[in-house]
Chain A
């Protein structure tokens, strides 16, 4: 299969997922207890029966069910995710405004976790069961046994409140009036704690994956061959082993995006980071269902996109995949 055909068939596979999620969203709202107009329109609806009628008509809730579903699918595909009465603007706009902050947070945590995780895992995998490897195993277990929001609370307590080294909330100093480099440094300072919190369980995962695959790779015949040829150990590790050992953590990055996104909801809530996670928290608080549904759909799109991208990168790096 050529790479182009692989990309096409891989993309086609995701169509059922996208439709499935749209259908799921639709079903949840129809099964919900109470008035769907109240659910989608929020508190405003309760004011007058006329408004309720108008909203029902506008949302098409007076039409037969199949027509509602069809309409809903078409709307979502046109990126019309409904209207948020709390924000008085289309859901898609509300969500899009928050995406850059979330991407900044997720991107930073990913770089932190992937770089450090691969370096640590590599060194542990070189000498399995050495003291360094054992410490890393304990660290990894700790890292993914901890609720990430609780780690956030603890770091906020120690570094923000007790030591006072880092800011504890928001993305920049409000009313600071900073510009240029100073502004960037300010954002960076606000970014440190949330990025570490969001990155910790990923770091644990990547370190462990790299360690395991490093141990496996070091047992391969081509490593023995390289050794027999008299290659320098350093050359073997960095030029022969590392490239192959990195495949596992790189694939995991894409698969893991959904978890990272859920982690972002909790992390952003702790640190008042103005991304989609915090938006979800606020939406829960005021029961803004259109926004919650929109975030779910959006999150699915992002995850699907990431999984396609990683699979393609992987197929590009490792041609064997395409022939399966």
Chain B
């Protein structure tokens, strides 16, 4: 890599940040996500307690100086579990959104670039996935194949790819007619090279925006599945913490309240970041 490349790159990043910074809510959202990310990574250093430690003598203890957010029905420390829960809840969000973005990008690129029959078939397939109520498909698949954390991430990813697929396809439809693609073709570049090296880098903007919203959506979906008892009971996630919350809501309001706040703040932050990215990457939409 030459020095010029890095200079250009740094300037681009600076410009990006200059425009992103204008949306103050988006900056707050990003700060919260970074904060949560740090907490998740450093969990064992942030809290001295074990999220799995069961202590029946201290079960359903209200928030106090010993347990700032109280304890659950096994006497487990709610604050500690929220801190550890950030690890998996964020991971689920990122992995599911990455699966969706990857599958969607591949299908959308081929569909938009090759057009014709391939496009027709892939788009019918995409439409099918947009119409069917995917949450029910998630329920069925996880009930049948089990709710391991891998299944949950895979199922969420595999049912949310149509949005990025359609975004990428429409980008490809317009970009493939542009001069630089024609130029690349004249130099004898292969289809693969044109798709991945020339068109795709110019087409990813909307997908990045939608991915940030899909992280939020995946965290919400995991929470919903866990609440219905379809999550991975061997893991600490915020959704999993809410699983038994309804049963104990009469005598332990804190079990339901705090993990929900964690989900809410995180999802809100990703939505704000999505808005901010949208302002930077799709400026035309904002002018309307």
Contacts and interface: CB of A to CB of B under 8 A. Distances in A.
A261 B133 contact: yes
A216 B288 contact: yes
Nearest to A25: B140
A284 B220 contact: no
Contacts of B264: 142, 145-147, 150
Contacts of A304: 131
Interface in B232-251: 242, 245-246, 249-250
**Which has the most chain A C-beta neighbours within 10 Å: B135, B245, B263?**
B135
A292 B143 contact: yes
B42 interface: no
Contacts of A66: none
Interface in A270-296: 270, 280-281, 283-285, 287, 289, 292-293, 295-296
A284 B143 contact: yes
B284 to A, nearest CB: 14
A232 to B, nearest CB: 27
B144 A307 contact: no
Contacts of A270: 246
Interface stretch (B73-81, B175-183, B267-275): B267-275
A43 to B, nearest CB: 15
B242 A28 contact: no
B136 A295 contact: yes
B263 A258 contact: no
A262 interface: yes
A270 B242 CA distance: 11
Contacts of A317: none
A318 to B, nearest CB: 20
Nearest to A201: B220
A270 B246 CA distance: 7
A287 B143 CA distance: 7
A220 to B, nearest CB: 12
Contacts of A118: none
Interface stretch (B52-60, B191-199, B221-229): B221-229
B159 to A, nearest CB: 11
A237 interface: no
Interface string A12-29: 001011001100110011
B137 interface: yes
Given A262-B135, A284-B228, A304-B131, A147 B223 contact: yes
Interface stretch (B92-100, B200-208, B252-260): B252-260
Contacts of B246: 153, 269-270
Nearest to B256: A153
A292 B142 CA distance: 11
B242 A150 contact: yes
A178 interface: no
Contacts of A259: 133, 135
B38 interface: no
A149 interface: yes
A286 to B, nearest CB: 10
A313 interface: no
B137 to A, nearest CB: 6
| Across the A-B interface, the 5 shortest Cβ-Cβ residue pairs | A262-B135, A150-B260, A258-B133, A145-B268, A296-B136
Given A262-B135, A284-B229, 19 more contacts: A16-B124, A17-B127, A24-B132, A28-B144, A144-B271, A145-B271, A147-B223, A147-B227, A154-B256, A154-B257, A156-B249, A157-B253, A258-B133, A265-B136, A265-B139, A266-B228, A293-B140, A296-B133, A300-B131
19 contacts: A17-B131, A21-B128, A32-B145, A33-B145, A153-B245, A153-B256, A153-B260, A157-B253, A161-B250, A259-B135, A262-B136, A265-B139, A265-B224, A265-B228, A280-B228, A283-B143, A287-B143, A296-B133, A296-B140
Interface of A: 14, 16-17, 20-21, 24-25, 28-29, 32-33, 39, 141-142, 144-147, 149-150, 153-154, 156-157, 161, 216, 258-259, 261-262, 265-266, 269-270, 280-281, 283-285, 287, 289, 292-293, 295-296, 299-300, 303-304, 307
